[in-house]
Amino acid sequence: MKDYLVKSVINDGMFRAYALTSTNLVREAQKRHDTWSAATAALGRSLTATIMLASSVLKGTEKMTVKINGGGPVGTIVVDGNANGTVKGYLQNPHVSLPLKDDHHIDVGQAVGNEGIMAVTKEMEYGDPFTGQVGLASGEIGDDFTYYLAQSEQIPSSVGVSVFVNPDESVDVAGGFLIQVMPDATDEAIDILQKNLEELPLVSEMLREGLSPEQMLERIFKNDDIKILDRMDAKFACDCSKERFTKALISLPKDDVQDMINEDHGAEAQCSFCGNKYQFSEEDLEEIIKQH
């Protein structure tokens, strides 16, 4: 199944709901960063949640950066997303694997930690970038995005994200849902939704059953009126290039670039988001010095 996001409204606008399959893009991230199980789940959940959050609040060419640091062993998680279903991300320490919890699930909360913050920076079409920041609710990622939406965006929400990692470190399934309560929602409708969510299996369990994003929404909302507004492909993609790193090198002091020539006879730059490497020969660096 390809990765895609479904946007919908429920009961003529009582709720906005998003559901996503992100298996392939989380697999791509796992391979690029060589993440181990706990790190894979933490990064995969963050990528999945960021796509849904970005799709719910951004438009056009607007961008979003999510930074999570809970003091856990994976360190800082950084994810960039846009309104078009594209995401990229990395974490500080990819080689983290922890004992499973009593329910045999990966202990993402322990890997991420909860003694820190989640910061969301939005680059809107107009005005300066704006950052909203909240303390972490649990480090489980879904809870943290839910708390962010309630505190920073003032939107009561529910975010569920899940990544199932196989014993060989490969990703079996990944996906999630995001539900936002709109002002027209009745108390009765909210109570029914809460009951449905309490009875809902894990997202990974639904995906392993073969459910599509549309079918996940049907499982959540049951007999409610679901109107699909849009379907959007989701993917892990990076916009790094040698030209971008060239600009970064030009911004360095000329003596630093000369040291690269004298000591290393060249330079290698690696993108944190995707792991791509770019080589700069002595000739390349000499051209960069000329541009200072």
For the chain, the residue count is: 292
Angle, to 10 degrees, between the axis of helix 282-290 and the axis of helix 242-250?
A: 50
Q: What pTM was computed for the model?
A: 0.95
At the topology level of CATH, where does 242-290 sit?
CBS domain Like (3.90.1280)
- Going by pLDDT thresholds of 50, 70 and 90, the confidence category of residue 140 is very high
Q: Rounded CA gap, 290 and 252, in Å?
A: 13
User: What CATH number belongs to 4-236?
Assistant: 3.55.30.10
What is the percent of the chain with per-residue pLDDT over 70, rounded to a whole number?
100
- Going by pLDDT thresholds of 50, 70 and 90, the confidence category of residue 126 is confident
Rounded to an integer, the average pLDDT of 212-232 is 95
- Going by pLDDT thresholds of 50, 70 and 90, the confidence category of residue 125 is confident
Rounded to an integer, the average pLDDT of 145-153 is 95
Domain assignments of the chain as residue spans, ordered by start: 4-236, 242-290
pLDDT at 223: 83
Residue-wise pLDDT for 180-213, tens only, equals: 999 999 999 999 999 999 999 999 999 999 999 9
Give the side-chain half-sphere CA count within 13 A for 259: 6
pLDDT at 104: 86
- Going by pLDDT thresholds of 50, 70 and 90, the confidence category of residue 231 is very high
pLDDT at 211: 97
- Going by pLDDT thresholds of 50, 70 and 90, the confidence category of residue 291 is confident
Structure tokens at 62: 């607007």
For residue 290, pLDDT beyond 90: no
pLDDT at 103: 87
Rounded to an integer, the average pLDDT of 213-219 is 97
Rounded to an integer, the average pLDDT of 147-165 is 96
Q: What sign does the CA torsion over 173, 52, 96, 90 have?
A: positive
Q: Which residue from 43, 128, 140 is spatially nearest to 87, judged by alpha carbons? A: 43
* Beta carbons of 39 and 163 less than 8 angstroms apart: no
For residue 292, pLDDT beyond 80: no
Burial of 172 (0-12, 13-18, 19+ CB in 10 A): middle
- Going by pLDDT thresholds of 50, 70 and 90, the confidence category of residue 121 is very high
Burial of 132 (0-12, 13-18, 19+ CB in 10 A): middle
pLDDT at 1: 80
